[in-house]
Amino acid sequence: MADHYEVLGVSRDASQDEIKKAYRKLARQLHPDVNPGDDASERFKLVTHAYDVLGDEESRRRYDMGGDENGGGFGGFGGFGDIFESFFGASGGGRSARPRSRRERGEDALVRVDLDLGDVVFGAHRDIEVDTAVLCETCQGSCCQPGTAPVTCDVCGGSGHVQRQVRSLLGNVITTQPCGSCEGYGTVIELPCGGCAGQGRVRTRRTVSLDIPAGVETGLRLQLPGSGAVGRAGGPHGDLYVEVTVAPHPVFSREGDDLLATLEVSMPDAILGTTTTIEGLDGTVDLELRAGVQSGDVLTIPGRGVTPLRGSQRGDLRVGVQVVTPTRLDSAQRRLIEDFAKKTKAPEPHLAQFQQGLFSKLRDRFRSH
């Protein structure tokens, strides 16, 4: 028999809470009312059985020790199967088999939203178009023409199942099968709703109003429970997932909750120092450059970065200085620089430790903060 932990997809040291959650999730997926197939119902049995063993501290302990999992008087797998069938009437000799439900859970839906960096910093509001099934207004999910109702199937008498006698080597055997006349529903819709062809729902485009929190990043999916498609015959809604894509910004890039940019500074400004005003994503910031500022120096503007997804404290804006060497000088400028070099007795070029370009130099300095 399959390992119960593997069946539930949990680790051997999973907490009771994790086991319960894993079971609920699988049970929803595999429930016979949702999945009429034999495969799903077999898996559902396995999953439910695994949970019966692992969901109880005492029987889990026995199972972990390799003991007889059914020793607790539960009645073994066969007994369990009977209980299962009396509840769900999926297959076999169900004495009290129940008809299938027409109601099904609706599908999940996925939409994509494009954002820019400003949306990431401050959060954003979007009205997005979603194309999913919604409740049929004509029948309100009943699937029947207004004023009519499903009638009891006269083949199975409303049970959704028929019994057949089959000859076998062991003699006559009674088997129970879904009723072919009502497809196992126990009722028949004689006058299907014209608005939805008897489905209880129609496909339509609608607008969903969405608040996107600050701090999201490309690939992140926001889940909106119950905003997906409505189920067949007015069944519960699926969920809506919104996947965000953030366009690159021409100036600012994001690292964690911080924003990074480069400030290009002319040689005279770097030598003499200056004040300047830069345009952040949310207004201007005054910066003071000290005289003698170097390429690779980083100026930190606190609280001008990104608001984290879970939190309210904005990161910082970090500006890395890059001194720009002039490349075209006229003869007068050239004389000035030569004069300057003579007077300052500038050192000869000399070796120092290797630095991997400005950007890695910047990154190292960010890290050391």
* Binding segment toward Zn ion, per CB under 5 A, in 104-112, 185-193, 306-314, 358-366: 185-193
Q: Should residue 322 be labelled a site residue for Zn ion when binding is judged by CB under 5 A?
A: no
Minimal distance in Å, beta carbon 136 to Zn ion?
A: 3
- Write out the binding residues for Zn ion, residues 96-155 only, by CB under 5 A: 136, 138-139
Q: Beta strand 298-301 with 317-324: parallel, antiparallel or unpaired?
A: antiparallel
* Residue 367, CB-side half-sphere exposure with 13 Å CA sphere: 6
Size of the site for Zn ion (CB under 5 A): 6
Closer of 134 and 271 to Zn ion (Cβ) = 134
Q: Should residue 308 be labelled a site residue for Zn ion when binding is judged by CB under 5 A?
A: no
User: What is the length of the chain?
Assistant: 369
Minimal distance in Å, beta carbon 129 to Zn ion?
A: 23
Could you give the CA distance from residue 65 to residue 91 in angstroms, rounded to a whole number? Answer: 34
DSSP of 99-111, one letter per residue?
A: PPPS--PPPPEEE
Radius of gyration of the chain (CA): 35
CA 86 vs CA 48, 81, 82, 96: distances in Å: 14, 9, 6, 6
Q: Is 357 exposed, middle or buried (0-12, 13-18, 19+ CB in 10 A)?
A: exposed
Could you give the CA distance from residue 325 to residue 320 in angstroms, rounded to a whole number? Answer: 16
Q: Should residue 195 be labelled a site residue for Zn ion when binding is judged by CB under 5 A?
A: yes
Closer of 197 and 267 to Zn ion (Cβ) = 197
Residue in 19, 54, 153, 196 binding Zn ion, rule: CB under 5 A? 196
Closer of 55 and 195 to Zn ion (Cβ) = 195
Could you give the CA distance from residue 354 to residue 334 in angstroms, rounded to a whole number? Answer: 30
* Binding segment toward Zn ion, per CB under 5 A, in 46-54, 76-84, 192-200, 334-342: 192-200
Structure tokens belonging to residue 38: 């034999």
- Write out the binding residues for Zn ion, residues 23-42 only, by CB under 5 A: none
Closer of 138 and 177 to Zn ion (Cβ) = 138
Minimal distance in Å, beta carbon 145 to Zn ion?
A: 8
Contacting positions for Zn ion (CB under 5 A)? 136, 138-139, 193, 195-196
